[in-house]
Structure 1
Amino acid sequence: MARAQVTFKDIDLTVSAPAGTRVIELSEKVGSGIVYGCREGDCGTCLCQVVEGQENLSPPSELEQKLLREHFAGKQQRIACQAQILGDVTLKPA
């Protein structure tokens, strides 16, 4: 199974994760400061900033696109409970 290196800038930690892992799952495991509420894409609380590797996350679903618009998110921001890791990426809380 393919793996990716994921760096959380807020805690200065890089870990290896299987491709397809949702950002929020990994963030919770390592203790990153990406906060969340529902974990289902309803609240948008888990907005995170992609520092590097935007192309290594899954494309935003219609639901995620809606949440990003509602929260006036920038181009480098994603909803952590929706975004799946496909390759190396560096993230931090929004």
Structure 2
Amino acid sequence: MATAKLSFADVALTVNVPEGTRIIDISEKIGSGITYGCREGECGTCITRIMEGGDNLSEPSALETRVLKDNLAGRNDRLACQAQVLRGTVKVKPG
């Protein structure tokens, strides 16, 4: 299985991940400060700043695009629960 690199600026840690891994899944495992309220019905709490490698992520879905717009997110922001690392290196930090 091919891998990619995912770096978390807030904890200064880079990990190898299988391609297709969602950012939130690794964030939970390593203790990054990316928060989420999805399980409590608070969509949009996991907005994450993509510092490098945005082109290495999956395209935003219609739902993600709407949530980002509703939350006035910036151009380099993505939902950690939706964005998948597809290749290369991606560097993120909590939004």
Q: How many percent of aligned residue pairs carry the same amino acid?
A: 55
Query: What SS does the corresponding residue of 1:91 show, helix, strand or coil?
Result: strand
- Please say if 1:5 is aligned against 2:18: no
TM-score (norm 1): 0.95
Which amino acid counterpart does residue 80 of structure 1 have in structure 2? A
Which has the larger share of strand?
Answer: 2
Equivalence for 1:19 = 19
**Could you tell me the TM-score, scaled by structure 2's length?**
0.94
Superposed, 1:1-94 pairs within 5 Å as 1-38=1-38, 43-87=43-87, 88-94=89-95
SS of equivalent to 1:27? helix
User: Once the two structures are superposed, what CA deviation does each residue of 1:36-74 show, in whole Å capped at 9, x if it has no partner?
Assistant: 0115x9611000000000001100000000001001011
In structure 1, the residue corresponding to 2:85 is in which secondary structure? coil
Q: Tell me, which stretches of 5 or more residues in structure 2 are unaligned?
A: none
- Give the Cα–Cα distance (whole angstroms) in 1 for the partners of residues 56 and 2 of structure 2: 12
